[in-house]
Copies of this chain bind each other. A is one copy, B any other.
């Protein structure tokens, strides 16, 4: 919440106290994260151990605990980074003009997936307690509400938020379904169908 704007992190901290991250830390975190991505493609999250992660990353098991308290802590931090990335993508588009013509939020979500393919796919499908999905939904709802006035709808903020929540869950559900059976339909066809559904709904609001 207070560490968005990850691209201008200078704004968040006192200028003089800008922590330069040690190369080794960067390397270690990247190795752990990559290792996690791979493992999540191979087995259920609950079966992944710290030993699994560090062995594959060729790190000492103890090193893991220098950065994360356990595998769930790791997952949460990775998820939060990804959500920051999605918010950056959305903020870098002219969202107001686009979203009114069609609910093109779907494009941003796909852009986000494209930029973080492996880990996103894994998290999206397998994140425990659905935490990643929940965060995605929150971003969509919030960004929708931000352009409330541009939509010129008749509903109160509360009523509108229910509708956005409904749309967001439906959309994320469809994308998730598509991920699970990706061989059956091309991305283009999927987007076409989904856009149509969303449009129909947006019109009905």
Interface residues of A (CB under 8 A from B): 44-46, 72, 126, 128-130, 133, 137, 159, 162-163, 165-174, 177, 193-194, 197, 200-201, 203-205
Contact = CB atoms under 8 A, between A and B. Distances in A.
A94 B102 CA distance: 38
Determine which residue in A168, A173, A201 has the highest number of CB atoms from chain B within 10 A of its CB, and name it. Answer: A173
Determine which residue in A130, A166, A193 has the highest number of CB atoms from chain B within 10 A of its CB, and name it. Answer: A166
Given A126-B129, A129-B128, A177 B165 contact: yes
Contacts of A126: 129
A126 to B, nearest CB: 6
8 contacts: A46-B46, A130-B133, A137-B173, A162-B174, A162-B193, A166-B197, A201-B204, A203-B204
A168 B162 contact: no
Contacts of A163: 197
Contact of A165 (B46, B130, B174): B174
A64 B163 CA distance: 44
A194 B169 CA distance: 13
Contacts of A129: 44-45, 126, 128, 130
Contact of A169 (B162, B173, B203): B173
A159 B129 CA distance: 29
A137 B133 CA distance: 15
A201 B126 CA distance: 29
Nearest to A44: B129
